[in-house]
Chains A and B, each alone.
Chain A
């Protein structure tokens, strides 16, 4: 089986597992889902309760209920949010793009800035900036991300009011297409920097260690023996090797990145899945929460498959399927 197909099969297996977990969580919740829904609606008629019970198949055995739940999900039916008063799927698809934008831009900032900091401090471990990098990475790790966000919010709301601190767009909206894009990017600055701050710390530590390792390796000495200057040694020969652990980490941490998005979106009122999760948890809107759990798992899977592909591109020893390697002939040895 080609690796990608294998990866997809395993991803689908994991998604089914997430759905089963979701189902079990509903089962564990005190009272059945209908009671919860009715409670959230502030009471309902006997007739509606009976209809809902039939709709949820609560009179049937648990395993049948599970089958019912799965078949509904397959057809894109994640239930109805009584708090937001619309189908959950639509609600989620509305919020998804904002979260993807936030998470991807934070990741890019974190990888680029973190790696550059790591390279620098690996090159000049005694330099002034290296100490700064060390301190920065400690701060990034130890400061709670929501607090970092609040501190930036105070700073940019009252001291330097140059970035908007709430939402994703100006209330008035923008006339032109380009104006709208710039407006969103302007709003994106603080949330993405905040979310990136934790991961800049991780990536700068990681890439520092891996660059130190790589810079001490034989092939870097070979590169220097070729007469290459430092810039080409670092960016032409060392960086790709040094990035391998960083890519691995990006894949592993994507789920945590999404968790960070819940906090950052809440702080900056960013209209994404994370804030939706916060709002629906406060309202005990179970269908919405569980659908968010499912969709965030899909996001993580996609990110993992993408990092796998990137991994194969960066490290030819992993890719394998790219091209059939000619077997070295014994006679030539």
Chain B
């Protein structure tokens, strides 16, 4: 983009009330953001249902409770039953745990790999940067879903391999972001000062630059959770998830052939995925906006 240079304004230094503590300022900005609050409420709802759900709704998600394909509102199953006559509500509560756990763990893996590669590339520059960016480009070019599918097929479909596979292919975006932040921050005066004072590379990377680069990376990490949930759902839908663990994608995949007779079996777990990812992205956007007051005013 072209840089728009505005005429220097002669407004005096802000003489208004002293700016509050940054954290407080951030919370205030976040709380003013309606959609971020909605996201937070939805997220609480999802987490509450998945982790506290079994306490209030004690039905075995793996056993038959009624005839197959009973519509929602039935006598035994409030959200209906699936093709094996299992309770949909219990299945969604149970499936959320695996989906959320895989999503969060895979996101952590991808963020750690991404920050490691991005920070080294951005900090050192030169041939290290060029080489690491080639690797990143390589992973961006491959259709990640396909690669993860191959990995899972080779190593067997368990929650652990799925998590590792998703984490191992999803880091390039975080790496690019971390690299950009590091390149920007390493040029700042205080980093140069620390370097001149004789700080070692590892200290500069992890103790000086990383903390400053963290806010946008936190947002990216949040969004990575959403992306990993979608990723896991896609794999489970294709039948590449752990066949022994209920997850939202798996429920959709298993009931897919009957969707014209029992729409709720594929619709409801999808709604759960949708609400979860939506909540995460609303909260993520809210944090992002609160961190960038300039964008907020637009």
Contact = CB atoms under 8 A, between A and B. Distances in A.
Interface of A: 13-14, 17-18, 25, 28-30, 138-139, 141-147, 150-151, 153-154, 157-158, 210, 212-214, 216-219, 241, 244, 252, 255-256, 258-260, 262-263, 266, 277-278, 281-282, 284, 289-290, 292-293, 296-297, 300-301, 304
**Leading 3 A-B pairs by shortest Cβ distance:** A259-B145, A147-B270, A142-B278
A300 B233 CA distance: 24
A282 B239 contact: yes
Interface string B94-119: 00000000000000000000000000
A293 B274 contact: no
A44 to B, nearest CB: 21
B140 A144 contact: no
A66 B274 CA distance: 44
A213 B141 CA distance: 29
A149 to B, nearest CB: 10
B298 A263 contact: no
Contact of B143 (A30, A145, A262, A290): A262
Nearest to A257: B143
Contacts of A212: 298
A25 B140 contact: no
B2 A289 contact: no
A219 B2 contact: yes
A28 B143 CA distance: 20
B212 interface: no
B140 A255 contact: yes
A292 B137 contact: no
Given A154-B259, A213-B1, A217-B4, A300 B141 contact: yes
Interface stretch (B73-81, B201-209, B260-268): B260-268
A150 B150 contact: no
Nearest to B271: A147
B144 interface: yes
Contacts, number: 142
B152 to A, nearest CB: 9
B262 to A, nearest CB: 10
B270 A150 contact: yes
A154 B143 contact: no
A212 B298 CA distance: 9
A90 to B, nearest CB: 20
* Residue from B150, B260, B273 having most chain A Cβ neighbours under 10 A: B150
Contacts of B239: 282
Given A255-B143, A293-B146, A301-B141, A263 B1 contact: no
A154 B263 contact: yes
A282 B143 CA distance: 18
B4 A296 contact: no
B241 to A, nearest CB: 13
Contacts of B282: 138
Nearest to A157: B260
A278 B238 contact: yes
17 contacts: A14-B137, A25-B150, A144-B230, A144-B233, A150-B270, A154-B266, A214-B1, A241-B1, A255-B140, A256-B145, A259-B144, A259-B145, A262-B143, A266-B238, A289-B153, A293-B142, A300-B141
Contacts of B240: 281
* Residue from A150, A219, A256, A296 having most chain B Cβ neighbours under 10 A: A150
Contacts of B226: 142
B145 A262 contact: yes
Contact of B150 (A143, A145, A289): A289
B216 to A, nearest CB: 15
Interface in B131-145: 134, 137-138, 140-145
